[in-house]
Structure 1
């Protein structure tokens, strides 16, 4: 199969092989290669998928709610009582919730559809590259590179919206490449439909690939400029309709009979688009759900809570350093080089050249979306880079195919040498950052890449006819070995990612990390436990919630905590303030009305004893006395009202207020 990845491209120079949209029938070895790729992706990604348990409690709570209640499924509610939604549109929750309705809610019913989306994304990327280049080998290489990307190996086995988002983005790229073949407006409208649903999966992130696709069609499509513009209008109309129906639904549905739309300040869909999940990300105005804001008068030691309050600094290096470097950067430098090489190689060919069109689709996708992530001012989680994985894989595959077409020329050999060397050296750099893990691997990859690149340079030296024959045979071997070596680091890190249990809001790739020790690490773990809701799942407290009969068993600040309680007790819980306690619901008046209607049994709040050493001398502020715990709440007006009218009992460090009418 290794040779099949490369050797199914037609021979000849670029001048005689401008690319073709008519594929010959697949040979048996090509059918076998595709079957192995898709079956291997399915088996690998489905293997022991329940090791991740409920993954992110926040989205698991919404999936459980959707499995219990159709309105909760429709709106993506965090609770089946439909108090508030999750902070994203519901496409991902539709899939996981419907699976729960069909098969019963469980880790498997929630996560198996995510893994199957990986198979779909690999198949679509394979098909897109194959049709654009006329080479099934290039398609196999693209699919393999995507499946072997560490962030894909993690996030297609997780319950975040990113899996369906990337599947839909890849579908839109495939439809665009189909549209480019004969300037087919219907295929461009299908691309618009895919992007519309991508918008309903993760809002503006789903549309970040739109400029790349639209610009490519405007440049490459084989029809007049007027027709190209009209086709783009048709695609935009399809996008608006496929996304707009849900926006309209939320606008006309009476707010009093639907959940509050989380992430908005006024219970409207578009406010979330333009604020919390939109421009707020770029301007740095979006708060973190993991952020712990200490009361005035206290200050934590520098750097102690950095893992919760810091998401990295914007800049061009963000994609190549830190956790993002391990998750996505493996092929990015080579993909950028491949993009330049393809544009240079296809220079002077007709505007409608399909190979250049494919390079524009994937290369511009990589540059535009990667640039957006690099500039994002708030909450840039490293796993967002899953949106770059098909672009990087597709660009590299198109580049390898183009250089293979010109393998008898110096341009092809030297270009292949540069590409192989870039892949191998960057894999070495990334692996060097985790130097204790399989140290031999990085040296093997680097040595192989250097030898292959050097060999390709040697074959480019003009020589006799006999030497050229030897060089032609050697070129095939060197390219195959060099490309596979370049994929070695990414593949190994993806394989190391698969068996690890991932959970929480921002999982990481690679082998198991050493357990941190010391007081700072202990406080960091306790704070993480709080943010993810683990501190609230005390068996005694869970049993109390299970025995309630009200609409909601409890109310608690922070969506992840409410979701953790729901999953443990299988009862609806109100998430006060939504995802990051920033949503203006419930107001004190709304909370009082819920209590008065006997729709709520318990109010819960965590108490923390802050170290005396954290007090700021001479700054009294609002810090609690050193002998009293601090109540961690995002809505202090509700906490104050409850504490003045009800008496707390304590389970561990959780203050439990029983809101039921008490007998006289």
Structure 2
């Protein structure tokens, strides 16, 4: 009888996966609402199949979120099973992050060796933006998992010569498109080119394979958007953040070309200065230096004293309060870390995915350090603002704003592209005759270069989007190690010297870059890392028995200290942010950094008590102002202008009919600065014809007590409730 044999586990990989599970999952029980915009949608999606299918933001299915719902489907299923809790809505992202680490290992190990696979997995695990993204209910961690799954399937298709797997690989990209739209297509050129050069088939069969890939991609990309757009607008929600109620328009407009050229719709205006050398800033632009949601001791406070009337931004008085309350200024934009003292500004109103909308007016300019700049003690730390993307150009990703999130191993990625093609060539082959390993180098370079190029020139994105680069950087870092080791072992004396020199320069350059990122927060450690990187580089040239081992250990230690520490900060602070980022500034807080989602408990209590037979609890201008109330009450709150109050969801006459029919009784007017078009007309009509309501604010406290940081787009403390029931039949 034949004995069963079990494959010996890779304990290094097991340890890395456990590390990933800890970094991504520890403390998610304090996630709160995470990104309340999506949590409100998840709350609504668990209430009906109709809401689940469309990704409806509100329980009534009035409007959707600004993305297709596939990623939210996973979160809604988790919430349905475990209940709507912070950890349950974040859990799919945690699992996706761990899965991405494993897939990357499986992609690198077969071609470049065991230690290369482990290296790629480790680098991916401790990349700060990967940790931050994997702890939120944003879509990016799930998107990256599906992209890696597509590449993994394609490599299996090439190896097995399977047309079916080719179909499946590009179908997966189509599914990824319906997670975050055109962002998924960034890896398409690499996949198509790789299939052509790596497939061991005749020209005719390769052509059939490419046609199969295109058909599969097209089918799975457009099937859902076409299905949604083909339904009458009367029978489905309005497509949030679109201007024509079309999911295809959302994909190729707002979530497509406008990301590259600058946002011009759905947000109340273009994001001026983004992607440019914006060393000057308008009043109200969020400062860098603090994690989204952080509150500074020096932050501006809004104070409502006992029995004192305040006015909202429309001049309407707010209800009297008996208890003195303080509210951090702004609606969730970042404030400098505690103790910074200066440069505290009122942040913009409204946000997208939790990010602030740019100011509508210029105002006076205040001096403050900008993304990519340096403070008195070094670089500003970067990655701490929704708009901290540095200055556009080929070195943008090396700047502190983005680099502190993704750039820790960038020099090794460049080394991997060059040495990989050089070291893995077959002697005697012509330059165009590629080895199997060279083809894989081209695959990862093809992922890296277009994405790097996009982030170098794009006008509108957020620092956490750079997770798109993490798999390619980790893979190319591992390839650089494998390629250098091969040359040192098998190359000529001249080649060995060149390889060692390139490796030494890369180690020192990486150490210097990491020291630059950390200088303003941990200068002593930064100096230590730089010194260790120099020492480890020199050890590679020493001809002593323990020189190689010492060099490897010193290199790994020196280059993992700071990246690992940065990656650990969201975990230690139990942070799950709407704008995910890793930064030592997180260590001064604990829990979710939600921007939006705050609830005025008195308003909620009053409207619930007096809602009567109305379909909606109340209407308001934007999704951020509504999200917290949806999460808390599980009732329908109409965000009439979509995310920022700019979506043309209905005309004034349609709104009047809604009120007249008794479906809507209350309207909450809060921040109206970004409202335009039909929404502005509706607001004017409400203020002219509605009846202001005074409701009790006794013992009024935020219901999101676990969440840290100022409100973002919420209305607590700066709102007016209007009763429209007298206008109904």
TM-score by length of 2: 0.75
Query: Could you tell me whether the CA contact under 8 Å between 1:533 and 1:565 is conserved in 2?
Result: yes
Could you tell me which residue of structure 2 aligns to residue 467 of structure 1? none
Q: Which residue of 2 aligns with 1:544?
A: 606
Query: Structure 1's 562 and 243: CA in aligned 2 closer, same or farther, altered over 3 A?
Result: same
Deviation track 1:331-353 (CA, whole Å, cap 9, x = no partner) reads 12210121111112234566452
Task: Report 1:406-417 matches (<5 A).
Answer: 406-408=487-489, 409=491, 410=493, 411=495, 414-415=498-499
Cα offset for 1:428?
Answer: 3.6
Does residue 338 of structure 1 match 2:416? yes
> 1:494 — aligned with what?
567
On the 8 A contact 2:620/2:668 being kept in 1, the answer is: yes
Check the 8 A contact 2:128/2:406 in 1, yes or no.
yes
State the distance in 1 between where 2:499 and 2:51 align. 54
1:283 to 241, 261, 265: 261
Aligned-pair distance for 1:427? 4.0
Q: Which residue of 1 aligns with 2:634?
A: 570
Q: Distance in 2 between matches of 1:224 and 1:102?
A: 49
Distance 1:420 1:497 in 2: 32
Deviation of 1:436 after TM superposition, in Å, equals: 4.8
The equivalent of 2:217 in structure 1 is 239
Which residue does 2:143 correspond to in 1? 165
Instruction: Report the counterpart of residue 656 of structure 1 in structure 2.
Output: 721
Q: For 1:528-607, what aligned pairs fall within 5 Å after superposition?
A: 532=596, 534=598, 537-547=599-609, 548-549=611-612, 550-606=614-670
Give the Cα separation in 1 of the matches to 2:387 and 2:485: 47
Equivalent pair of 2:108/2:120 in contact (CA under 8 Å): yes
Task: Give the aligned length.
Answer: 588
CA contact (8 A) 1:406 1:413 kept: no
In structure 2, the CA distance between the partners of 1:533 and 1:71, relative to structure 1 (3 Å rule), is same
Secondary structure of residue in 1 paired with 2:693: strand
Structure 1 SS opposite 2:255: coil
Correspondence for 1:91 = 70
Match of 2:234 among 237, 251, 256: 256
Task: Report if aligned partners of 2:30, 2:87 keep a CA contact under 8 Å in 1.
Answer: no
Q: Check 1:602–1:308 CA distance in 2 against 1; reply closer, same or farther (3 A cut).
A: farther
- Contact 1:555–1:603 (Cα < 8 Å) also in 2: yes
Provide the secondary structure at the position in 2 that maps to 1:81: coil
Pairing 1:214–2:276 present: no
Whole-Å Cα distance in 2 between the matches of residues 273 and 213 of structure 1? 21
Structure 1 distance, partners of 2:665, 2:388, is 36
Task: After TM superposition, give the deviation of residue 231 of structure 1 in Å.
Answer: 1.3
Change (3 A) 1:126 1:309: closer
Task: Give the secondary structure class of the aligned counterpart of 2:667.
Answer: strand
Question: Relative to structure 1, is the Cα distance of residues 266 and 305 closer, same or farther in structure 2, using a 3 angstrom cutoff?
Answer: farther
Following superposition, the deviation at residue 264 of structure 1 comes to: 1.8
Query: Does the CA contact (< 8 Å) of 2:423 and 2:486 recur in 1?
Result: no
Q: How does 1:247-646 map to 2 (within 5 A)?
A: 247-286=225-264, 287=267, 289=351, 290-291=356-357, 293-294=359-360, 299-302=363-366, 312-348=390-426, 351=433, 353-378=435-460, 380-408=461-489, 409=491, 410=493, 411=495, 414-415=498-499, 418-419=502-503, 421-459=505-543, 470=544, 474-502=547-575, 505-512=578-585, 532=596, 534=598, 537-547=599-609, 548-549=611-612, 550-606=614-670, 633-634=675-676, 635-646=679-690
Supply the distance in 2 between the matched residues of 1:36 and 1:88 (Cα, whole angstroms).
35
Distance 2:682 2:727 in 1: 20
Which residue of structure 2 aligns with residue 128 of structure 1?
A: 107
CA distance in 1, matches of 2:651, 2:624: 20
Instruction: For 1:314 and 1:650, locate their aligned partners in 2 and report how far apart those are by CA, in whole Å.
Output: 49
Distance 1:167 1:413 in 2: 39
In 2, Cα distance between the equivalents of 1:502 and 1:515?
11
Q: Compare the two structures and name the one with the higher helix fraction.
A: 1
Q: CA deviation at 1:188?
A: 2.3
| CA distance 1:301–1:249, change in 2 (3 Å) | same
Q: Name the counterpart of 1:179.
A: 157
Cα pair distance change 1:504/1:147, threshold 3 Å: closer
- For the 8 Å contact 1:57–1:504, the answer to whether it is kept is no
Task: Evaluate the alpha carbon distance shift between residue 368 and residue 663 of structure 1 in structure 2; reply closer, same or farther with a 3 A threshold.
Answer: closer
Whether the 8 Å contact between 1:61 and 1:79 is mirrored in structure 2 is: yes
User: Residue 8 of structure 1 corresponds to which residue in structure 2?
Assistant: none
The answer on whether the counterparts of 1:118 and 1:163 sit within 8 Å (CA) in structure 2 is yes
Q: 1:503 Cα shift?
A: 5.6
- Give how far 1:270 is off: 1.2
User: Is residue 37–residue 144 contact of structure 1 (8 Å, CA) maintained in 2?
Assistant: yes
SS in 2 for 1:83: coil
* Offset of residue 451 of structure 1: 1.7
**CA contact under 8 A between 1:328 and 1:386: conserved in structure 2?**
yes
Partner of 1:621: none
CA distance in 2, matches of 1:184, 1:35: 30
* Superposition deviation, residue 300 in structure 1: 4.7
Q: Which moved more, 1:583-592 or 1:284-293?
A: 284-293
Residues 170 and 291 of structure 1, relative CA distance in 2, 3 Å threshold: same
CA contact (8 A) 2:388 2:402 kept: no
Structure 1 residues 191 and 31, CA gap change in structure 2 (3 angstroms): same
- Tell me what 2:16 maps to: 37
Displacement of 1:431: 3.6
TM-score by length of 1: 0.82
Query: Which residue of 225, 228, 232 corresponds with 2:206?
Result: 228
Distance (Å, rounded) in 2 between the aligned partners of 1:310 and 1:96: 28
2:223 and 2:365 map into 1 onto residues whose CA distance is 49
Partner of 1:20: none
SS of equivalent to 2:646: coil
